[in-house]
Structure 1
């Protein structure tokens, strides 16, 4: 007979089908990811701790003086005026002014005290010297502040002590009973480890480093908010609370000035505590960390992803299974734990530093625009002086924010383009796949 196609018997066909069903498709081998390459960051001059604390204290004292000007201005230009001064100085509580200035100078006092004590006790170790310095300076400073508060409250109602002590209660809530955050800014870390980045291929070490950097980032955010709130509260709100009942002034304008002090202090603290070098450290860490996106369950989900392992680095776009869910790698190098919301937020914030700086730049520009509109519409002499001086400080803050944004945008643009291409590639690959049986 002529040769023809060979036909299998029904028994053989059923046997072959059974062997195929018993051997599901094998997941292809996953290539290890390419470790991120870091480029040297441009050398941008940074302010020293002493210079920043000095400028911040000067700004806070000037803001307090402008608030007293808004409240105690006089009509010195009138021919029959009883005073020739621009302010009614006799109505101002000098003890209150001294108390506020002492609070504003706390960090300068701490810097000077540390240098003096280090010279007197040069034989002690660095750790013993640091503890001794904090103990001596904090006790002496607490005595000065306490005596000033007692003198102020001697002529006031007892309920006013709450106005002076409220920020200290907030401090205890934020930082506990630690002394260092009250006197230090960037040199203080709640975990005692300074923010550094070490390029590692060990996923456990990468996650541990990112946890430490995330904790340090949160500490700096708390420092920024607390410093801004203290400057605005004692320089703008406390003079309003201790004003004489018969004093007449524009309350809305005074409250607006409190907002001006807070925002300017916030910008200065943000540019210093979250400097470009600090952003570079966090950005490098999240390049190693990566992020996972949960794949929604459905009919077109591939059922053969790899099991996630905590000791393995995963390349971008790979699918893994973790806790009965499927996750997709979003970074070029991924060591993060799937479903870790805290580190995911840290990744989204630090992978593109220019986005946050752009938001701050827009808000600061709106604040300057608002102050310029207020300056154009106002006619009172004390309001013009107040807005002009605050605008000068905000122009300096605008320069720093704009500089940081331009540098970060140009420096991190290749990295951001890589992230966008990765996300676009992942979106294109989200096509219906046949379900394996």
Structure 2
């Protein structure tokens, strides 16, 4: 993955304070300069409204805690609303196991803890710049002795103490449910785990030889998996070379696939910890040791698990696909183009069709090529360029172009997904009659409302960039002039 990130800089420019890495007009005709096409894409203003990683992880943690609370409300509800009920509270608090609740809370906050660790490392690294050796050593001691070590000690000891209590209070079949996400995580992120294992192994070997300190080994063990594209600092460069375009698409496809994997696992793990595990660890005996069984509505639990998993997936994918990243994908798809498979009854002569060669230049729209297996493809380029650099019959190229050929295609898909999810929850709310189900659906739907509003705002923003009105064009020119002045 580290090599992939270095390759991304071949066609990605680093943004600086002086302005964009390339000169761009709003809607000028394409120009050629040293093999690069300039002014193909519209000018995209800088977006400073993207929340930080720590803020987002805290938001997702609060949503998961809300889902956990609502699940407890569904499991341990009382009949407090009846006139002659002897329950004065809405929950049977005496049946809630505080040690299990502690374990689940710590696991739900694992990503927040890792993000906080990463933030501390970045802050100390910034403070250590242009400092002397003594000051850097003091900052390192403060970082580990007063912040990281107490934090990790508190988290690990709290989890081990609570998990030991859970181990003693519940049967082994229930305790083993804690480890169910591990094989799924290993399967989904096997390439990232292999990469981290090699880095940690290399660091330990260098530390044994005295080449680095133990803090470097700890940092390599705790560091997150690197991404192939940093959308905050990478800019798209228009190229006329098909090999460079296909290389860019390969990197972006790998990065997009990695982001979807993170979103998928985040959604499943959040629903597993906050919805599924509380059902497994329902109390099976009273305080006096007598057997008991809590009635659980299985159909409702399946529905709630699905709603929480899909909402968590939506939260994560909205964060990992910001506007500048979606725009980067669209600009790459404009240069990629695609091929359509021709039928056997096509009027194009098979003898006159040339064979496709990866070393050929860009193919104009409407040209026909033939592969070695005698399949023929028609070039279908974008309206901006009308050229195709994709490989005929390549499934990844075809899928990437269809997803990203329109500037709002991905945003529209996310809006449709959120709209369907809200409609399903509203229909569940109409059909339900129990008060705890009503409270659960009403509170959980707020997150989807906010997500839909955010996505719709992004859709309007991209639409005005790529299909602007005269007022929008005047505003963009004003922004460009301000950038030139600064």
Please give the range of the TM-score, normalised by the shorter of the 2 chains: 0.7 to 0.9
- Report Cα offsets for 1:235-255 as digits up to 9, x if no partner: 111111111341124332232
Task: Measure how far apart 1:143 and its partner are.
Answer: 6.8
1:57 maps onto 2:61 in alignment = yes
- Report Cα offsets for 1:97-116 as digits up to 9, x if no partner: 11121122222212322343
2:69 and 2:419 map into 1 onto residues whose CA distance is 25
The total of aligned residue pairs comes to: 373
Task: Measure how far apart 1:398 and its partner are.
Answer: 1.6
Counterpart of 1:215 in structure 2 is: 254
2:346 and 2:391 map into 1 onto residues whose CA distance is 26
Partner of 2:377, secondary structure, is: strand
Greater displacement, 97-106 / 204-213: 97-106
Tell me if structure 1 keeps the 8 A contact 2:367–2:379: yes
1:136 and 1:169 map into 2 onto residues whose CA distance is 29
1:327 maps onto 2:370 in alignment = no
Within-5 A mapping of 1:376-395: 376-395=430-449
Counterpart of 2:203 in structure 1 is: none
Counterpart of 2:421 in structure 1 is: 367
1:71 maps onto 2:75 in alignment = yes
Tell me if structure 1 keeps the 8 A contact 2:338–2:379: yes
Task: Measure how far apart 1:383 and its partner are.
Answer: 2.0
Tell me if structure 1 keeps the 8 A contact 2:37–2:240: no
Tell me if structure 1 keeps the 8 A contact 2:228–2:255: no
Greater displacement, 138-147 / 289-298: 138-147
Match of 1:272 among 287, 301, 319: 319
2:305 and 2:467 map into 1 onto residues whose CA distance is 37
1:259 maps onto 2:306 in alignment = yes
Q: TM-score, normalised by structure 1?
A: 0.75
Gaps of 5+ in 1: 1-31, 415-437
Q: 1:229 to 1:283 in 2, by over 3 A?
A: same
Within-5 A mapping of 1:212-361: 212-245=251-284, 246-298=293-345, 300-302=347-349, 303-311=351-359, 312-323=361-372, 324-331=374-381, 332-361=386-415
Gaps of 5+ in 2: 1-34, 131-139, 197-218, 285-292, 469-486
Q: TM-score, normalised by structure 2?
A: 0.68
2:346 and 2:239 map into 1 onto residues whose CA distance is 39
- Structure number, greater radius of gyration: 1
- Report Cα offsets for 1:303-342 as digits up to 9, x if no partner: 3234433231121111223324432211122112222122
Task: Measure how far apart 1:174 and its partner are.
Answer: 0.5
1:352 and 1:263 map into 2 onto residues whose CA distance is 25
1:370 and 1:382 map into 2 onto residues whose CA distance is 18
Tell me if structure 2 keeps the 8 A contact 1:352–1:412: no
Tell me if structure 2 keeps the 8 A contact 1:232–1:258: yes
Partner of 2:344, secondary structure, is: coil
Tell me if structure 1 keeps the 8 A contact 2:311–2:448: yes
Task: Measure how far apart 1:142 and its partner are.
Answer: 6.6
- Report Cα offsets for 1:225-284 as digits up to 9, x if no partner: 111111111111111111134112433223222122112112211211122221111111
1:301 and 1:247 map into 2 onto residues whose CA distance is 71
Q: 1:242 to 1:179 in 2, by over 3 A?
A: farther
Task: Measure how far apart 1:349 and its partner are.
Answer: 1.2
Tell me if structure 2 keeps the 8 A contact 1:33–1:316: no
- Report Cα offsets for 1:177-215 as digits up to 9, x if no partner: 2698xx9xxx96666453543222222111111101000
Partner of 2:90, secondary structure, is: coil
Within-5 A mapping of 1:125-144: none
- Report Cα offsets for 1:363-403 as digits up to 9, x if no partner: 42233233334334434322222121112222112212222
Task: Measure how far apart 1:216 and its partner are.
Answer: 0.3
1:170 maps onto 2:174 in alignment = no
Q: 1:335 to 1:370 in 2, by over 3 A?
A: closer
Tell me if structure 2 keeps the 8 A contact 1:190–1:216: no
1:109 maps onto 2:156 in alignment = no
